Amino acid sequence: MSTPRMRVAGAPVSFGVDEIMVDDAWMPAGTDVLDWLVDIGMEGTELGPPGYLGDADALRDGLSSRGLELVGSFLPLHFSRNEVADEDRAWLATNLALVRDGAPEGSRPIAILSDQFDEPERMAHSGQIDRHPETWLSAARFDALIDNLHRAAELCRSQGFDVVIHPHAGTYIETADEIARVMDRIDPSLLGLCLDTGHFRFGGADPTQAVHDYHEIIRHVHIKDCRTAVMDGVKAEGKGLEEALRRGVFCELGTGDSGIDSVINALREHDYSGWLVIEQDQYLTAADTPESVVAGQRANREYLRGFGI
C-alpha cells in the first residue's frame, strides 16, 4: 500500500511578510515571493496578509501563471469579544470573497481561522500564560469564543470553504490546556484543526502528541520549528511574543525543538495526506538579504525532501 502523499506549500510569512511584525527593515514584493516559491519547489502558497498579493484578479493571474495553488488564508478574529463580532464577520466575508475569486482553477483553499493577537496582556505574557491567571478567559468570554468561532465557521462553509482553527501564540488559544479546552467544545462537522508545530511548541504543547490526540480533526498543517532557548531568554527578561519573533524564535526546520521528524512520522502513521505549509515567521533586519532569506527557505524545502516529501 502506498503512503498518502503530503504536498508542500509555502507562505509569505516565511519571507518576512506577516500581520504582527510591521516594522521590518525591508519587505519583498509579492511577485518576488511567488517567483521564489516556484524556484524553491513549492506547489502552492497561503495568501499572507489580505491584499499583499494583490486583488482577486492579480492574485489569480499571479498564481496561475506560475502553476501555484492557493492553499489557504489566515483569518484572525476577536472570538471572545462579542462587541466586535458583527464587524469581524463583515471583515471575514470580504476576505473570503477575495480568496474565492482569487483562487486559480483547481485550488481548494482552506479558511484558517485564528483568534486575534492584539490583546496587550496576552501578547506581553505569551509563552508563559500558565504563570499569569489574570490573562485567562472568564467562563463567559470562553463561551463567547466558542459561539463566535462556530458562527465564523458557518459563514466560511456557506461560502464553500473547508475550515480549521489555528491555535496561535499571543491569543486566547495558545497553551496545551487552552487548545484541549477548545477541541473539547468545537463542532467537528463545522471545522477541524490546523496543527502549527511551532506555535504548539511555543505555547507548551507537544506537537507530536497533538498529532496522536487530534489526528481525526487535523485538516491542515503548518510545519514550523521553534527554539525553546530563545523563549527561555525572552521569559527571563519579562518580554513577550514580539521580542521572541525579533530574536528568531521560529527557525529553520530541524534546528529547533518542535520535533519535526517525529511529527512527520506521526502524520504518516495516521495517514495524513493534506498540505504541509512551510512557515518560518521571520522579522527581517538590515543584515538579511533576498538571497539569504531564499537560501533559508530552500534549506527548509530540502529538509522535507530528506523525508521523501
Summarised one tens digit per residue, pLDDT across range 49-88 is: 999 999 999 999 999 999 999 999 999 999 999 999 999 9
Q: What is the pLDDT of residues 16-31, one digit of tens each?
A: 998 777 778 899 999 9
- Residue 49 covered by a domain: yes
Residue 58 to residue 80: CA distance in whole angstroms: 34
Cβ count near 7 (within 10 Å): 15
Residue 140 to residue 107: CA distance in whole angstroms: 38
The CATH number that applies at residue 206 is 3.20.20.150
- Residue 2 covered by a domain: no
Residue 304 to residue 309: CA distance in whole angstroms: 5
The range of the structural domain enclosing residue 284 comes to: 7-305
- Residue 229 covered by a domain: yes
- Residue 85 covered by a domain: yes
How many domains, in total, are found in the chain?
Answer: 1
Q: What is the pLDDT of residues 203-223, one digit of tens each?
A: 999 999 999 999 999 999 999
Q: How far is CA 167 from CA 37, 97, 175, 181, 201, in A?
A: 25, 24, 8, 11, 11
Q: Do the bridges between strand 69-77 and strand 44-46 make them parallel or antiparallel, or are there none, so unpaired? A: parallel
- Residue 1 covered by a domain: no
- Residue 72 covered by a domain: yes
Confidence at 90, pLDDT banded by 50, 70, 90 = very high
- Residue 109 covered by a domain: yes
Residue 182 to residue 135: CA distance in whole angstroms: 16
